[in-house]
């Protein structure tokens, strides 16, 4: 199983920092920055968030800047296999859009405009509504992607 993080970073207008991906598996789609947890070095999800925020966004953060919003497990995600994604919210707000990086191009998008962008269906259908709720406790979702493009929540 692959472990990864997605970083939910907002500006003062409530817009989210998203990236138009240049690489597979989400090439051409718009999603939050993030990346794989370095399991060989026993990296934790929060330390992965700190590292990825710096590498992809140029954001210098510390562990206490991050909050676990949720965990998504995807069974048989196409071209990857099984993946567990730690959804990390950045507590401070940012004002500047980061410079583009090798992973993709950044943009701020307000949640009201998500439907007009090429956001992955799993994110639209299962994740974003839970991110907006901003509860104190993290949420947990298990998804079955074996019948992709049809994706089902495992209850």
Given a contact cutoff of 8 angstroms between Cβ atoms, the answer to whether 36 and 2 are in contact is yes
Q: Note the pLDDT tens digit of each residue in 18-65.
A: 999 988 778 899 999 999 999 999 999 999 999 999 999 999 999 999
What dihedral do alpha carbons 67, 70, 73, 77 form, nearest 10°?
-80
- Strand ranges across the sheet with 16-21: 30-31, 16-21, 104-109
Q: What's the rounded Cα separation, in Å, for the pair 152 and 155? A: 9
| CATH topology for the 2-154 domain | Nucleoside Triphosphate Pyrophosphohydrolase (3.90.79)
CA angle 61, 102, 4 (to 5 degrees): 55
**H helix or E strand, kind and range, residue 55:** helix 45-57
> pLDDT tens across 101-132, in order?
888 999 999 999 988 899 988 888 899 999 98
* 17 bridge partner residues: 108
Burial of 1 (0-12, 13-18, 19+ CB in 10 A): exposed
CA distance 147 to 15: 32
């Amino acid at each position: 199983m692959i472990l990864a993080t997605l970083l939910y970073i907002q500006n003062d207008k409530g817009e989210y920092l998203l990236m138009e991906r240049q690489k597979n598996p989400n090439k051409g789609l718009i999603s939050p920055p993030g990346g794989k947890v370095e399991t060989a070095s026993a990296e934790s999800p929060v330390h992965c968030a700190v590292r990825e925020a710096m590498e992809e966004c140029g954001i210098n953060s510390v562990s206490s800047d991050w909050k676990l919003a949720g965990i998504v497990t995807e069974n048989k995600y196409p071209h990857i296999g099984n993946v567990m994604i730690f959804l990390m919210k950045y507590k401070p707000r940012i004002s500047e859009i980061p410079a583009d990086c090798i992973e993709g191009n950044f943009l701020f998008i307000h949640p009201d405009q998500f439907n007009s962008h090429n956001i992955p269906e799993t994110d639209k259908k299962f994740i974003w509504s839970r991110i907006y709720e901003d509860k104190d406790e993290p949420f947990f979702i298990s998804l079955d992607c074996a019948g992709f493009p049809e994706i089902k929540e495992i209850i």
